[in-house]
Amino acid sequence: MPIFALAPMEDVTDAAFREIFGLYGKPDVMFTEFVNIDGLLHPEGFKRLKIALIKTENQKPVVAQIWGRDPQKFYEVSKTIKGLGFDGIDINMGCPQDKEIKLKTCAALIREPELAQIIINSAKEGSGGLPVSVKTRIGFSGNELAQWLPALLKAQPAVVSIHARSKKDKSKVPADWTAIEEAVRIRDNLSSKTLILGNGDIKNRAEALQRVKDTGCDGVMIARGAFGNPWIFRKDNYQPSAEQKLWVMLEHARLFDQLLGRYKPFMGMRKNFRAYASGFEGCSELRAKLLQVKNLEETEKIITEFLRDINFKQGTVV
């Protein structure tokens, strides 16, 4: 069976987000938000960044994604990740944002394949036997897999997850899944044991399975398609009702408050509300209200009132 992974997303795949997937549609593996190695090695930075590394047993296996540039720091942080009880370490070599590129990190490492190899090896040395993987893109300015992927495979990471766009593309063009097929071909020609996961524009499990069939990759990583849809990884193609979506959205909000309320402003839930509150009658009005909430109490009031109105319209008194 192909591997299904919940992709690492900055300020998205926090402990509450992963927990709701653990409850309603657990993938084979989940990834944390990406965390900077320089910050993790600084006492004050660690206090701030450890929030992204909060996890529960229900989320396992869960992989910590880290980013940076200094191989020695990758070694040290990998020891820390091992000590925190994670199931793997993933190195971000794919984020295309200008801030990270200016620091010559993330997708900028595509232009420095020798340094990328050293970083992978340093992380493996510090990992205490944990699998070390890489999340990257097909290239910096275009498709550069012919040069970039063999360099990565030489360092023998456990997995290379490939977003089927270049750094230049960001998310402005459709994902090029023919590049994932090419990546599999390159891996096979080199007789590498590294697994290849494809990523980009997958909206449901059926589409994911078709991508695996078409490209020969070992699995898929789903990012934006998972927003508001913790059922996306389920094998039974489960389609929740509007009421079920809203109750799970409320549970997600409660988990956010419980696990992260001491650390992060509740308004961070709004992007999730936007995703959950879609595809049913009255969702636009509900979404507009939810995008104004400031705390869990306001959220509970709005959702329960909306559900009560639905039930009244259907002839059921709540």
pTM of the model: 0.94
Question: Domain segments of the chain: what residues?
Answer: 3-226, 242-313
- Structure confidence at residue 227 (pLDDT): 94
Active site residues: 95
- In 127-232, where does DSSP find H-type helix? 145-154, 177-189, 205-215
Q: Name residue 57's amino acid.
A: E
pLDDT, tens digit, 9 for 90 and up, residues 160-195: 999 999 999 998 899 999 999 999 999 999 999 999
Specify the CATH class of 3-226 in words: alpha beta
3-state SS class at 264: coil
Sort residue 104 into left (φ over 0), alpha (ψ -120 to 50) or beta. Answer: left
Sort residue 63 into left (φ over 0), alpha (ψ -120 to 50) or beta. Answer: beta
pLDDT category of residue 315 using cuts at 50, 70 and 90: very low
Q: Range with the lowest mean pLDDT among 144-148, 158-162, 313-317?
A: 313-317
- For residue 101 the two structure tokens come to 């590129």
Element (H, E) at 134: strand 132-137
Residues β-bridged to residue 29: 5
Query: Distance from CA of residue 107 to its chain's centroid?
Result: 16
**Residue 310 neighbours by CB distance under 10 Å:** 18
- For residue 211 the two structure tokens come to 């991508």
8 Å CB contact between 94 and 128: no
Q: Name residue 218's amino acid.
A: D
> Who contacts 141 (Cβ-Cβ below 8 Å, separation ≥6)?
166, 167, 168
pLDDT (average), residues 232-254: 95
pLDDT category of residue 309 using cuts at 50, 70 and 90: confident
